[in-house]
Amino acid sequence: MTESVTMNPGEIEALAVEILEAAGARTESARPLARAIAAAEREGIASHGLMYLPIYAEHLRCGKVDGQAVPKVTSPRQGTVLVDAGTGFAHAAIDAGFAELIPRARELGVAALAIRNSYNCGVLGYHMERLAAEGLVGLGFTNAPASIAPVGGSHPVIGTNPFSLAVPDGGGGAAILIDQSASVVARSEVMKHAREGRPIPEGWALDPDGQSTRDPDLAIRGSMAPSGGYKGVGIGLLTEVMAAALTGAYLGIDAAPFSGTKGGPPRTGQFFLAIDPAASAGDVFAERIAALAGAITEQPGARLPGQGRRAARKRHDRDGIQVSTALLDKIRSD
């Protein structure tokens, strides 16, 4: 049985800050990322939690990410905020952009945030929930290094490219939270299986010859399977346009991998839309969302997107978060 210790989000955040700063990140860059790592653990998304911390530290040391970068915020148009992350962590750039995006969305009804020269933003839904907490509908896109081949092809051209939608519940939370990638699963899940020496389920990925594989190492060298076949490729292309072309970031075919030490900064991008529902729907919006959510939750066994994460939060707030001692030892030793 794997030995573990019980930690709370504050302890996880403090550990992450310590490790990131030791690897070369300034506090203003380390803190937002550490909060997101703690949130991922709290929501049971281990692939984006402490497990990823050694990779972040490695990338700080090898120069894939600039720990001293200060995001540069500009506003080319009234409803548009542009942030150059300077090859630093995405989380600090998103924080800087949200400080401008949220008040502009309230004033104008809708506003956009484009981030370029960025890095892996972790759990995209984490950022979208922050907009929902402000009473705004949040729609976000982030592109990634190419790992999905087009239908009929064999060479990856787009990344797993997630999109996320967060709908406010009127009480500081999200009534609906959709967070999904263009692939069957996030690439980080395949990497997690590779690190643990476990085979991946059938249908997750293809080997370099385009054949289905359960070997995570072959999958990493091959391509991820798109969710829903050609429909998944369509979602990936949508995200590539929004997060790379519209922001001026690198396309997935030009971006260095999020794993390993080769290739330099990925320079990927994120694009966010923040919409004030009061501007277009008024009080009717809350009524419609309540009716939509109710039509799902009233069915036995059915659940809304995002409910699983909320349940994990409650469980971990009550019982604490179990973290393996082996992982903590690896974090400390690296």
Residues carrying an active site annotation? 47-48, 189
> Would you say 105 and 274 are in contact if contact means Cβ atoms under 8 Å apart?
yes
Which amino acid is residue 40, in one-letter code? A
Rg (CA), the chain: 19
> Would you say 162 and 239 are in contact if contact means Cβ atoms under 8 Å apart?
yes
Cα–Cα distance, 214 to 257 (Å, whole number):
21
Query: Quick one: DSSP state of residue 256?
Result: P
Cα–Cα distance, 56 to 23 (Å, whole number):
9
Q: How far is CA 148 from the centre of its chain?
A: 17
Cα–Cα distance, 202 to 143 (Å, whole number):
25
| Token pair for 107 | 């004033």
Run of H or E including 58:
helix 53-62
Residue 126: which of 147, 145, 149, 98 has the closest Cα? 98
Cα–Cα distance, 246 to 239 (Å, whole number):
10
Which amino acid is residue 164, in one-letter code? S
Strand, coil or helix: 112: strand
Query: Quick one: DSSP state of residue 226?
Result: B
> Would you say 275 and 105 are in contact if contact means Cβ atoms under 8 Å apart?
yes
